[in-house]
């Protein structure tokens, strides 16, 4: 019988293996695009993920305020991903969140197993590793900790790590501040579509229903990083995703038919526009394809917070104001749950087709 710890990528990485198991090896056509992440990050030629300074997002000075908002809107339309600086969340708080998450993962695997999730039974919160959920049986080189962090009345505190002692306080405060930042971003994106500033927030569930789910991704050192991926190429299903990381590069974006490596920008939070906003905006704002690379030298940790609409209460479809004869609706009406299922079904179909070729 396989012990639970044998499934953990961290245990695998620490076992001293020189070659990774075949289920972690990416398909041939994918391997051609995987390079050394440290070399990739140093390259300065070609397009770079935009950095948006939010300092003036609420400025009294109308010109400064509009300039800041216009830059954010442009990045959301062109890239769908950006580094946010001067985002209003203190470096002290983001460092506490990162220290707390790292301290949880620094514990022995046996300690973390006390928080193990059970994906098969639908208990998705807790400590886990990717299970093969597609026909090709591929696995990703990561372990993770996943839980709902906002609204506060929907949290299950029994699943929150007891160690380190600062975990709950730091993560809770970060969730509150991130929720306010999400409101600001959604307001700017609404205005960018010619809508009232509260419109997108309302369409994704408002303060009561928009869920903030945190996933701490832990990518152990990998003996053959050129063969594996930490996270396979995907777009986020969320409305918005905010990401902190431990300044080890790994994120790549598929922009204009090429993989572009995101730089490590100090004191920034990465913002992704997710599928939900792409659908509501009828494709005006982009949900960009992205993936995570791993490396031999350093453990990479990232803290992703997905801002998600309720699963079944809202029908996601292009807002009437974004649809015209020239620009018909690009997406059919679906609930958030149906959208997730549609993407999983399509991935499975694609994997089956590639197996047959």
Q: Which of 186, 183, 190, 243 lies closest to 216, judged by CA?
A: 243
Catalytic site residue from 74, 215, 221, 298: 215
**290 catalytic residue (yes or no):** yes
- Give yes or no: 98 in active site: no
Q: Is 118 exposed, middle or buried (0-12, 13-18, 19+ CB in 10 A)?
A: exposed
> What's the residue count for the chain?
357
Q: What is the rounded distance in angstroms from the CA atom of residue 181 to the CA atom of residue 206?
A: 13
- Beta strands in the chain, from DSSP E residues, in sequence order: 51-53, 81-85, 126-129, 143-150, 211-219, 231-234, 240-245, 251-255, 258-261, 269-273, 290-292, 300-308, 315-316, 334-335
| Catalytic position from the list 74, 221, 234, 298 | 234
C-alpha distances in Å from residue 140, one per residue of 47, 227, 250, 271, 347: 27, 11, 13, 22, 15
266: how many CB neighbours lie within 10 A of its CB?
8
Query: CA–CA separation, 105 vs 9, rounded Å?
Result: 12
Give the DSSP H or E segment for 40.
Answer: helix 37-42
Told to judge if 92 belongs to the known catalytic residues of this protein, a careful annotator would answer no
Query: Cα separation of 43 and 38, whole Å?
Result: 9
Catalytic residue among 73, 87, 290, 339: 290
Q: How far apart are CA 55 and CA 19, in angstroms?
A: 47
Active-site hit among 87, 236, 275, 317:
236
Quick check: is 67 catalytic?
A: no
By annotation, the residues acting in catalysis are 215, 234, 236, 290
């Amino acid at each position: 019988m396989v012990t639970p710890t044998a499934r953990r990528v961290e245990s695998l990485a620490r076992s001293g293996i020189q070659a990774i198991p075949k289920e972690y090896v990416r398909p041939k056509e994918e391997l051609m695009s995987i390079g050394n992440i440290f070399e990739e990050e140093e390259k300065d030629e070609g397009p770079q993920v935009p950095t948006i300074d939010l300092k003036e997002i609420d400025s009294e000075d109308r010109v400064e305020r509009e300039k800041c908002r216009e830059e954010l809107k442009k990045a959301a339309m062109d890239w769908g991903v950006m580094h946010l600086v001067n985002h209003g969340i203190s470096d002290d708080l983001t460092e506490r969140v990162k220290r707390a998450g790292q301290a949880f993962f620094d514990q022995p695997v046996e300690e973390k197993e006390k928080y193990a999730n059970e994906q098969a039974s639908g208990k998705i919160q807790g400590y886990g590793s990717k299970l093969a959920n597609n026909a090709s049986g591929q696995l990703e080189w990561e372990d993770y900790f996943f839980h709902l962090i906002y609204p506060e009345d929907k949290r299950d505190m029994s699943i929150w790590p007891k160690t380190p002692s600062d975990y709950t306080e730091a993560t809770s405060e970060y969730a509150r501040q991130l929720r306010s930042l999400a409101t600001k971003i959604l307001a700017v994106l609404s205005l960018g579509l010619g809508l009232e500033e509260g419109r997108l927030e309302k369409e994704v569930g408002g303060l009561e229903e928009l869920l903030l789910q945190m996933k701490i991704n832990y990518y152990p050192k990998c003996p053959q990083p050129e063969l594996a991926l930490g996270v396979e190429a995907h777009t986020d299903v969320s409305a918005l995703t905010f990401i902190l990381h431990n300044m080890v590069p790994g994120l790549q974006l598929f922009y204009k038919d090429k993989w572009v490596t995101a730089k490590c920008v100090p004191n920034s939070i990465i913002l992704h526009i997710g599928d939900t906003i792409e659908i509501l905006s009828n494709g005006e704002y982009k949900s960009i394809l992205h993936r995570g690379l791993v490396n031999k030298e350093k453990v990479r940790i990232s803290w992703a917070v997905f801002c998600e609409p309720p699963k079944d209460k809202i029908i996601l479809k292009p807002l009437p104001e974004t649809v015209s004869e020239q620009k018909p609706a690009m997406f059919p009406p679906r609930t958030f749950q149906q959208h997730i299922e549609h993407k999983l079904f399509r991935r499975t179909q694609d994997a089956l087709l590639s197996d047959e070729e």
